[in-house]
Amino acid sequence: MSKKSKAEGKSPRRASADDRYQGSDSAETEHEKWIGRHIGYRYDVNLVPDYGRLTPFLKKYIEMMGWEDLNWLEDIHMGYEEDRFAVFDRNINGWVTVPEDVELPDDPQERDMLARDLLVRFQMSGHHPLAELKKAHRKF
């Protein structure tokens, strides 16, 4: 994962919104403009993942789990929250933000693979909020 300063004034929302949607003339609907935020579940969940762009970490993860494809990660895409790139983590029911200094690829398929990579690393780490909860409340 490369780290690079992002150009000032570059809005990740404007830079990437158009190619994230399918069957929509504009990135934002009237309804989204009205409520002032994006509706995440409008993402094209049917976008077929390009398995040629799997990161080495994801390849290892899939093999380790004994799966033949991305499995639950098919539903993971790079989104954004408050004008910053972010990935939704169902385990904490919230968005996890990508740090400003992480350079994101232009290709939406590569961005989604990066989102999956980051999310798995985060969920499997000891820093994840569920790890703390488990310590406090586990029964076994």
Partner 1 sequence: MEELNKEQKSYQMGMHTEQLAGRTQQVFFSPEEAENLLYPGAFDVDFDKRGELDAADLEPVAVNLKIRELMGEGCGTIEVHNPGAKHSLGVGILNRLWLHFEGSLGYFGCGLIDGPNVRIKGRVGWSCAENMLAGTVVIEKNAGSCFGAAIRGGDLICKGDVGARTGIEMKGGTIIVGGRTGVFSGFMMQRGRLVVLGDAGPNLGDSMYDGIVYVGGKIASLGTDAIPAEMTELDIAWLSRKLKMYGLEAPDGVKNMHKIVAGKKLWNYDNLEPMEKKIVL
Query: What residue ranges bind partner 1 (CB under 8 A)?
Result: 1, 3, 31, 34-37, 39, 41-42, 45-48, 57, 60-61, 64-69, 71-72, 74-75, 81-82, 87-90, 92-99, 101-102, 118, 120-129, 131, 134, 138, 140
Calculated CA dihedral for residues 100, 41, 106, 115, nearest 10 degrees: 60
> Closest separation between CB of residue 94 and partner 1, Å?
4
> Closest separation between CB of residue 52 and partner 1, Å?
14
> Closest separation between CB of residue 81 and partner 1, Å?
6
Tell me which residue has tokens 């290709």.
107
Helix axes 108-123, 56-65, angle to 10 degrees: 60
Contact partners, residue 51, CB within 8 Å, separation at least 6: 69, 70
Residue with smaller CB distance to partner 1, 21 or 57: 57
